[in-house]
Amino acid sequence: MLASTKIDVNHSRITRIQDLDELAVVFFPGNKRHQKVFLAVFIELKWAEGQFVPVLEPIADKFGVSRRALETVRAKMRRLGLIDHVSRFGQKYGCREGWVFSNKFAKALRRLADLAESLRERRGHAGERKDRDALTYI
Protein backbone atom coordinates (compact mmCIF):
# COMPACT_ATOMS: atom_id res chain seq x y z
CA MET A 1 0.00 0.00 0.00
CA LEU A 2 1.32 3.43 -0.99
CA ALA A 3 1.56 6.27 1.50
CA SER A 4 -0.85 9.14 1.05
CA THR A 5 0.45 12.13 -0.91
CA LYS A 6 -2.38 14.45 0.12
CA ILE A 7 -1.29 17.65 1.78
CA ASP A 8 -2.60 17.58 5.35
CA VAL A 9 -3.39 21.10 6.52
CA ASN A 10 -5.83 20.68 9.36
CA HIS A 11 -5.81 23.57 11.81
CA SER A 12 -4.27 21.68 14.74
CA ARG A 13 -1.40 20.42 12.63
CA ILE A 14 -0.67 23.89 11.27
CA THR A 15 -0.46 25.37 14.77
CA ARG A 16 2.16 22.78 15.74
CA ILE A 17 4.53 23.46 12.81
CA GLN A 18 7.68 25.14 14.06
CA ASP A 19 10.47 24.17 11.67
CA LEU A 20 11.19 23.70 8.00
CA ASP A 21 11.40 19.91 8.28
CA GLU A 22 7.87 19.81 9.72
CA LEU A 23 6.65 21.94 6.82
CA ALA A 24 8.26 19.48 4.39
CA VAL A 25 6.23 16.65 5.95
CA VAL A 26 3.01 18.65 5.44
CA PHE A 27 3.69 19.25 1.74
CA PHE A 28 5.19 15.81 1.00
CA PRO A 29 3.69 13.34 3.51
CA GLY A 30 4.99 9.81 3.37
CA ASN A 31 7.82 10.59 0.94
CA LYS A 32 11.17 11.20 2.64
CA ARG A 33 12.94 11.61 -0.71
CA HIS A 34 10.65 14.46 -1.76
CA GLN A 35 10.90 16.00 1.71
CA LYS A 36 14.68 16.03 1.34
CA VAL A 37 14.46 17.66 -2.09
CA PHE A 38 11.99 20.25 -0.76
CA LEU A 39 14.39 21.10 2.06
CA ALA A 40 17.34 21.28 -0.33
CA VAL A 41 15.56 23.66 -2.73
CA PHE A 42 14.18 25.80 0.08
CA ILE A 43 17.50 26.07 1.91
CA GLU A 44 19.50 26.79 -1.24
CA LEU A 45 17.07 29.56 -2.22
CA LYS A 46 16.95 30.95 1.29
CA TRP A 47 20.72 31.29 1.59
CA ALA A 48 21.52 32.19 -2.03
CA GLU A 49 22.73 35.70 -2.84
CA GLY A 50 19.58 37.80 -3.21
CA GLN A 51 17.51 34.62 -2.72
CA PHE A 52 17.98 33.94 -6.42
CA VAL A 53 19.15 30.64 -7.94
CA PRO A 54 19.83 30.60 -11.71
CA VAL A 55 19.31 26.83 -12.09
CA LEU A 56 18.08 24.13 -9.75
CA GLU A 57 19.79 21.11 -11.34
CA PRO A 58 23.05 21.43 -9.35
CA ILE A 59 20.99 21.00 -6.18
CA ALA A 60 20.24 17.42 -7.19
CA ASP A 61 23.94 16.66 -7.55
CA LYS A 62 24.93 18.52 -4.39
CA PHE A 63 22.45 16.65 -2.19
CA GLY A 64 22.52 13.30 -3.98
CA VAL A 65 18.92 13.24 -5.19
CA SER A 66 17.59 12.32 -8.59
CA ARG A 67 16.76 14.98 -11.14
CA ARG A 68 13.36 13.38 -11.59
CA ALA A 69 12.59 13.89 -7.88
CA LEU A 70 13.88 17.46 -8.18
CA GLU A 71 11.54 18.14 -11.11
CA THR A 72 8.56 16.62 -9.29
CA VAL A 73 9.18 18.69 -6.16
CA ARG A 74 9.97 21.85 -8.13
CA ALA A 75 6.70 21.50 -10.05
CA LYS A 76 4.69 21.04 -6.87
CA MET A 77 6.40 23.98 -5.17
CA ARG A 78 5.62 26.14 -8.20
CA ARG A 79 1.98 25.00 -8.39
CA LEU A 80 1.57 25.79 -4.69
CA GLY A 81 3.06 29.24 -5.25
CA LEU A 82 6.11 28.75 -3.02
CA ILE A 83 8.65 29.40 -5.78
CA ASP A 84 8.54 31.09 -9.13
CA HIS A 85 10.62 31.13 -12.28
CA VAL A 86 11.72 34.57 -13.44
CA SER A 87 12.45 35.41 -17.04
CA ARG A 88 15.61 37.00 -18.34
CA PHE A 89 13.37 39.79 -19.64
CA GLY A 90 12.40 40.94 -16.14
CA GLN A 91 14.42 43.85 -14.83
CA LYS A 92 13.70 43.16 -11.16
CA TYR A 93 16.46 40.53 -11.10
CA GLY A 94 18.82 42.25 -13.50
CA CYS A 95 17.55 40.48 -16.64
CA ARG A 96 18.68 37.13 -15.21
CA GLU A 97 16.71 33.92 -15.57
CA GLY A 98 16.26 31.73 -12.52
CA TRP A 99 14.26 30.74 -9.44
CA VAL A 100 13.03 32.85 -6.52
CA PHE A 101 10.61 32.60 -3.61
CA SER A 102 7.05 33.58 -4.47
CA ASN A 103 4.41 35.35 -2.37
CA LYS A 104 1.53 33.63 -4.17
CA PHE A 105 1.10 30.88 -1.57
CA ALA A 106 0.96 33.27 1.38
CA LYS A 107 -1.43 35.61 -0.45
CA ALA A 108 -3.71 32.71 -1.41
CA LEU A 109 -3.86 31.45 2.17
CA ARG A 110 -4.69 34.93 3.44
CA ARG A 111 -7.39 35.24 0.78
CA LEU A 112 -8.84 31.85 1.76
CA ALA A 113 -8.88 32.81 5.45
CA ASP A 114 -10.53 36.16 4.66
CA LEU A 115 -13.09 34.46 2.43
CA ALA A 116 -13.99 31.89 5.10
CA GLU A 117 -14.41 34.75 7.57
CA SER A 118 -16.51 36.94 5.27
CA LEU A 119 -18.79 34.10 4.15
CA ARG A 120 -19.86 33.60 7.77
CA GLU A 121 -21.42 37.08 7.89
CA ARG A 122 -25.20 37.24 7.63
CA ARG A 123 -26.32 39.54 4.82
CA GLY A 124 -30.10 39.81 4.98
CA HIS A 125 -32.81 37.86 3.20
CA ALA A 126 -31.21 38.08 -0.27
CA GLY A 127 -27.96 36.70 1.13
CA GLU A 128 -29.77 33.80 2.77
CA ARG A 129 -31.60 33.01 -0.47
CA LYS A 130 -28.31 33.05 -2.39
CA ASP A 131 -26.66 30.74 0.15
CA ARG A 132 -29.57 28.30 0.05
CA ASP A 133 -29.58 28.38 -3.76
CA ALA A 134 -25.97 27.18 -3.68
CA LEU A 135 -27.28 23.83 -2.46
CA THR A 136 -29.13 23.31 -5.74
CA TYR A 137 -26.00 23.90 -7.82
CA ILE A 138 -24.02 21.10 -6.27
Q: Can you give the pTM of this predicted structure?
A: 0.84
Instruction: Check: CB of residue 74 under 8 Å from CB of residue 41.
Output: yes
23-74 per-position pLDDT tens digit: 999 999 989 999 999 999 999 999 999 999 999 999 999 999 999 999 999 9
Which residue ranges form the domains of the chain, and what is each CATH number?
Answer: 1-102 (1.10.10.10), 103-138 (no CATH)
- Which pLDDT band holds residue 1 (cuts at 50, 70, 90)? low
